A and B are shown apart, each in its own frame.
Chain A
Amino acid sequence: MHWHWLIIIYLFLGGLGAGAYLTSFAAEKGWLGKNSSLTKVGYYIAPPIVAIGTVLLVFDLGQGLTKPWLLVGLLTNPKSVMTWGVYILSLFIIVGFLKAFFTFRKKSCSNILTVAGAVLALATGAYTGLLIAVVDAVPFWATGVMPVLFVVSALSTGLSITSLLAMLVEKENFNEGKEGVAHIWLIAAELVVVAVFIGIMISGVNGPIGKESAELLVSGVYSVVFWGYFIGLGLLFPLFAFTFNHWKSKKPAVKQKKRHSLLTIVSDVLVIVGGFALRALVILAAIPVWESLTF
C-alpha cells in the first residue's frame, strides 16, 4: 500500500539527473577549473535519467497502465506540489534534450536556454524534496530541511556520475579540474544538513512520530543502511578519499601523476550508492500519523 521502490528510484533519479546537468553547467561556466572534462557528459545523461525516473513513476500509479489517459489531469491542480513537479520535470526534460542536442552537434546555443535548464535542474532537485516536505501528516518528511538535503545530495551524486562517465568517455584525455574540491564541499555540506535533519527529528520538535522514524535510522531496523551505507560509505569514506587526494595533489612531487585513481572511482560510486540509500531511508522510515491513531 505504501510508497516503495519505484518512488525511491524516481526521487533518486530526479536528483541524479538534475545534479548531472548542474555539474556540466558549472563546468561550462568554468567553475570547475580550466579545460574541465565535465562540460558535456552531464548534459547528455541528465534528460534521459530524469525521463526514465518519470516513466517509472507511471508504473507506480494505480491507474498508470489501466487508464493512462487520466494522467492528463496531472496538470490541473496548481496548488499541488505534484502538479508543479509535472511541469518542472517536463520542461526540464525538453530543455535538457535541446541542450544535449546543441552540445552534441557542437553548435553554440543561446545562453538563455542553458540558464533555463540550470534553473529547471535546480527546481527538479528541490521538487523531489518539496514533494514530501509539504506532507504534514508524515512528521519525518515535514521539514524545510528536506528540499535542502535533497538538493545537496542531488549535486553530489550528479557530480559523481558525471565524473565517472567522463572518465570512461574521455579516457586518456580526461583532465581533472576542481571537482575534487567541489566533492569535499558538497559532502561536508551534506553531513551538516543530515546532522541538522536528524537533530530536528530526534529532539522531537516534529512530534513523537517523527522521532520514532529517526530512531529507525539511528538505532532501529535501518541503522545498518543509515550508518553503514549512507553515512559511512556514502559520505565519510568519499570525504576522506577526496580530501586525501586533494592533499596529495598539492604536493609538487606527485603533481603530474595520473589523476583518476581507483580511489576516486570507488568514491564516486559510493557517493551514488549513498544518495540512493538516502532516498530509500527517507521513504521507508516514514510513518504517517494515521498509522497508529492512539487516544
Chain B
Amino acid sequence: MDSKKPVKLSRRNVIKMGVIGTATLSLGVVSFKVAGSKSTPAKASTKGEQIGFIYDQTKCVACRVCQAACKEANNWEEGVEWRRVLTSESKANAFLSISCNHCENPACATVCPVGAYTKRDKDGIVIQNPDKCIGCKYCMYACPYHAPQFSEKTGRISKCHFCYERQDRGEKPACVENCPTGALNFGKISVLRETEGAVATLPGMPDSSITNPSWVIIPKE
C-alpha cells in the first residue's frame, strides 16, 4: 500500500526537480571540464615533439608568396594577416616572414577566457577556434608577435594554425610549400635549433622568455 502513496506531480514539484536536475548536471559538466583541462598540460609534455618554423633571412627576397599562399589556403577574414613579411630598419634588404610561432608557453591560450585555444599534444601546434571566440581581443594584446588578429568585419580573432589539416594529410604548410627560395621551412624544433647559424630571436624583437616561441631564424650578416 505504501507504494501507492501519491507523489504530487504539481507544477511546483516538476519545476523543482527540473532545477535540481539541471543544477546537478551542470555541476557535473563543469567539474568534468575543469578536471579535463587540468590534465592536458601534463599530457602535452609526454606526447609528440614540438614543431616550428625556420626562416632563412639570407634566402628571402620578400616576394610575399608565403603570404599569398597562406591567404589562399586559409581564407583570411577581412582585415587579418596570418602571415606578414616585415622589412628591417637597420639592415638593407633584410626581411622577416612572421606568423604564429606555436609557442611552448602560448600567452594567447593562457589569457583566452573562453578557452578557444588548444595546443596539440602530438606536435605542439596552437590552434584557435574562431567559432568559440567572443572577440575580447585579450589574446591580441597578450601575444608578443601579433599572431592573433581581429577582424572588424566578423568581430572575432583568427590566426595561423600551421595548416594542421594539411599536415595531418602528410602535406607541408602552404607557406613552406610555396616559398620559391626555400627561405621558409618547418620541422621538429629541437632539430631546427641545431641548424648552423640559427638563432632563437633577432635583436629588437620581443623577449623570447615571455612565451618561448617555436621558431628559428638564420640572420643575414
Contacts and interface: CB of A to CB of B under 8 A. Distances in A.
A86 B202 CA distance: 38
B189 interface: no
A83 B137 CA distance: 14
B145 A77 contact: no
B135 A1 contact: no
Nearest to B157: A62
B10 interface: no
Interface string B105-126: 0010111111110000000000
Interface magnitude class on chain A = 35 or more
B146 interface: yes
Main secondary structure of the interface of A (DSSP, over half): loop
A168 B145 CA distance: 51
A63 B145 contact: no
A219 interface: no
A63 B129 CA distance: 14
Interface stretch (B17-25, B64-72, B147-155): B147-155
A82 B111 contact: yes
A137 B101 CA distance: 15
Contacts of A63: 133-135, 155-156
A111 B96 CA distance: 60
B134 A74 contact: yes
B37 to A, nearest CB: 7
Given A63-B155, A82-B138, A137-B206, A73 B150 contact: no
Interface stretch (A152-160, A274-282, A285-293): A285-293
Interface centre among A62, A86, A291, by most chain B C-beta atoms within 10 angstroms, is A62
Interface residues of B, number: 47
A76 B33 contact: yes
Nearest to B152: A1
B96 A82 contact: no
Contact of A70 (B33, B132, B205): B132
A134 interface: yes
B168 to A, nearest CB: 25
A38 interface: no
Given A62-B154, A62-B156, A295-B90, A70 B114 contact: yes
A195 B92 CA distance: 42
Nearest to B88: A295
A75 B205 CA distance: 34
A137 B136 contact: no
Given A77-B37, A78-B34, A294-B204, A71 B144 contact: no
Contacts of B30: 75
A133 to B, nearest CB: 12
Interface string A181-197: 00000000000000000
A134 B136 contact: no
B59 to A, nearest CB: 16
Contacts of A137: 107, 141-144, 206, 210
B133 A80 contact: no
Given A62-B156, A137-B144, A138-B141, A77 B150 contact: no
B203 interface: yes
A165 interface: no
Given A61-B134, A61-B135, A74-B134, 19 more contacts: A1-B150, A61-B136, A62-B134, A62-B155, A73-B132, A74-B113, A76-B115, A77-B112, A78-B34, A80-B110, A80-B115, A134-B111, A136-B210, A137-B144, A288-B146, A293-B145, A294-B89, A295-B202, A295-B203
- Top 6 closest pairs, chain A to chain B, by CB: A62-B135, A62-B155, A73-B114, A290-B146, A82-B113, A295-B202
